[in-house]
Structure 1
Amino acid sequence: MLNYNGELLDEKEVLLSTNNRAFKYGDGLFETIKSTKSKVIFWEDHYFRLMASMRMLRMKIPMSFTLEFLEQEILKTIATQNEASFYRVRLTVYRKDGGFYTPETNEIDFLIECSPLNYQTKNVYAVDVYKDFYNYSGLLSTVKTTNRMLNTLASIYAQENELDNCVLINENKGVVEVANGNIFILIGKTVKTPALTEGCIKGIIRKKVIEIIQKNPEYTIEETIISPFEIQKADEVFITNAIIGIQPVTQFKKKNFNTAFSEKITQSLRLLEITSS
């Protein structure tokens, strides 16, 4: 079952018009969320990122869009699914139909989809740089809009070249993120991740990993500019997103990496998932 504006409907009953603005102009945004049957994981972080993104895109936030309301709508939708340990939830918000580039209204519709989550991290994970197009730096690039063409093309490139993922770079040839998440590198006792000014998504797990490392006096964390060459010099590399949590990278070009540090961070993240409200 899908949740369309608060109403549970069979997938075949949800009919989006040809004037849907997310379809025509990419005029929408989304949150991909991990959840159990009774708990939406890191929900507050997802919710406040969603609110900030809607404001940035000049969408009118309904009075009903409270933290509690959307959480209950997600759990209501999950309740219709087969039993599973975890679920993948996608909450999409888009401007209502009407207008060309200039919309007729800033009011929104929302759609909640969910399915059992069976993802497992891979023991061997190879990445390389995607160079055909740039992920331009700037504030808009930090928002998860429904325009994911660059990510789609990078994923196709990875598939064609027997890779698991691709590193996206910006117009300055700096590392931004990977096709489906943020990226971290470990050099000695320093952990680096691209700064938001490089154009990367404000990832929820990115934020949690930074918080975990900040509490560990043995390591330092830097949000900074990273070149692709620095990835080759790294001791470890790992990627993050809300669904996989942490996926260690084992190979970049001809360089192989250890995974001990990322495995340690994974344990801390799992504990945080359990204890978070």
Structure 2
Amino acid sequence: MILLNDQLVENEQAHIAYNNRGTYYGDGVFETMRCYKGIAIFYESHYFRLMSSMRILRMEIPDSFTPEFFEEQIKELHEANELNSDHTRIRITVWRNQGGLYTPTDSTVSYSMEVSSLSHVFEHIATNEVELFKDHLLPLGMLGTLKTATKTVNILAGIYKTENDYDDMLLLNQNKMVVESISGNLFLRSGNIIKTPPITDGCLNGIMRGQVIAQLKRMLNYQVVEESITPFELQRADEMFSTNVIQGIKSISKYRKKEYETSAADELREFFNQKLFS
């Protein structure tokens, strides 16, 4: 079952207007959360990012969209689906209601919430070979930092990945700087310096990104900096990894002929598994 505008409905009965602006124009945002035993981790950060994204897109935020409201909805959805797993994934999708062409005539919104099972804590994946995706570039600016319903570059990179037998792709912005992977923020370690692209480069303002940066600043063995990353730096690095709240910290094992260490990612993964799931 899913939640559709406050109502629990069976998946096959979840119908929305054919001309809703989410499908017509990609006029929507979404938020993906990882839950442990029915509780969303980093919930406050997810909630405020969703509200901020709706404000930036000039959507009318319903009075009911309080932190307590979504917490109750998450609880209700878990209970209705009776999932046999401590680890679950929640996706909230919000779209502007139908009306108008490019210029909307109605800024009220509809939303859906769905839940699915995850099988484990954050794990080390042995093989994760990546390549640069050069066919299309991510935009600079604030809109690139949001989780909008318009993810064309990520989709095309995913198709390229599958067609060419890679595990992930690294995306470039309009300045030809390396920004992120298909579904995660990027970190690059050289010695004890760990770099990650700044938000101004157009990378997603990731929740896990923020958590990892905060933890790295507490650790004495690493120095974290937010700086642009050129493609030339990739093969000189000792280690690369990507982050998101579903997979946690995902080590990159190979880029072209370069194979990478995993020490920093392993250390971070162990820390967050103990912090979140113990």
> Is residue 37 of structure 2 the alignment partner of residue 37 of structure 1?
yes
- On the 8 A contact 1:198/1:225 being kept in 2, the answer is yes
TM-score between the two structures when normalised by the length of structure 2? 0.96
- In structure 1, list runs of 5 or more residues that go unmatched: none
- On the 8 A contact 1:135/1:199 being kept in 2, the answer is yes
SS in 2 for 1:173: coil
- On the 8 A contact 1:175/1:226 being kept in 2, the answer is yes
Q: Aligned equivalents of 2:86 and 2:231: distance in 1? A: 37
- In structure 2, list runs of 5 or more residues that go unmatched: none
Letter in 1 for 2:76: K
> Is residue 66 of structure 2 the alignment partner of residue 66 of structure 1?
yes
For residue 117 of structure 1, report the CA deviation from its aligned partner. Answer: 1.2
SS in 2 for 1:79: helix
Q: Which residue of 2 aligns with 1:20?
A: 20
Q: Aligned equivalents of 2:275 and 2:65: distance in 1? A: 26
Q: Which residue of 2 aligns with 1:95?
A: 96
> Is residue 135 of structure 2 the alignment partner of residue 132 of structure 1?
yes
SS in 1 for 2:80: coil
- On the 8 A contact 2:38/2:86 being kept in 1, the answer is no
Q: Which residue of 2 aligns with 1:147?
A: 150
Q: Aligned equivalents of 2:234 and 2:29: distance in 1? A: 30
Q: Which residue of 2 aligns with 1:214?
A: 217
Q: Which residue of 1 aligns with 2:195?
A: 192
Letter in 1 for 2:258: K
Q: Aligned equivalents of 2:103 and 2:162: distance in 1? A: 37
For residue 36 of structure 1, report the CA deviation from its aligned partner. Answer: 2.5
Q: Aligned equivalents of 1:75 and 1:229: distance in 2? A: 47
Q: Number of paired residues? A: 275
1:171-202 Cα distance to aligned partner (Å, 9 max, x none): 11101111111110101111100100110000
Q: Which residue of 1 aligns with 2:168?
A: 165
- On the 8 A contact 1:94/1:108 being kept in 2, the answer is yes
SS in 2 for 1:230: helix
- On the 8 A contact 1:37/1:79 being kept in 2, the answer is no
Letter in 2 for 1:141: G
For residue 274 of structure 1, report the CA deviation from its aligned partner. Answer: 4.2
For residue 38 of structure 1, report the CA deviation from its aligned partner. Answer: 2.8
- On the 8 A contact 1:2/1:11 being kept in 2, the answer is yes
> Is residue 251 of structure 2 the alignment partner of residue 254 of structure 1?
no
Q: Aligned equivalents of 1:35 and 1:103: distance in 2? A: 34
For residue 121 of structure 1, report the CA deviation from its aligned partner. Answer: 4.4
Q: Aligned equivalents of 2:30 and 2:276: distance in 1? A: 21
Q: Aligned equivalents of 1:225 and 1:261: distance in 2? A: 20
Letter in 1 for 2:144: S
Q: Which residue of 2 aligns with 1:2?
A: 2
Q: Aligned equivalents of 2:109 and 2:166: distance in 1? A: 38
Letter in 2 for 1:257: Y
Q: Which residue of 2 aligns with 1:271?
A: 274
For residue 157 of structure 1, report the CA deviation from its aligned partner. Answer: 0.7
1:80-120 Cα distance to aligned partner (Å, 9 max, x none): 22211211111001111111111121111110011111365
- On the 8 A contact 1:128/1:166 being kept in 2, the answer is yes
For residue 138 of structure 1, report the CA deviation from its aligned partner. Answer: 0.8
Q: Aligned equivalents of 1:38 and 1:17: distance in 2? A: 30
Q: Aligned equivalents of 2:226 and 2:79: distance in 1? A: 39
- On the 8 A contact 1:30/1:93 being kept in 2, the answer is yes
Q: Percent identity?
A: 39
- On the 8 A contact 2:196/2:226 being kept in 1, the answer is yes
What's the C-alpha RMSD, in Å, of the aligned pairs? 1.2
- On the 8 A contact 1:37/1:75 being kept in 2, the answer is no
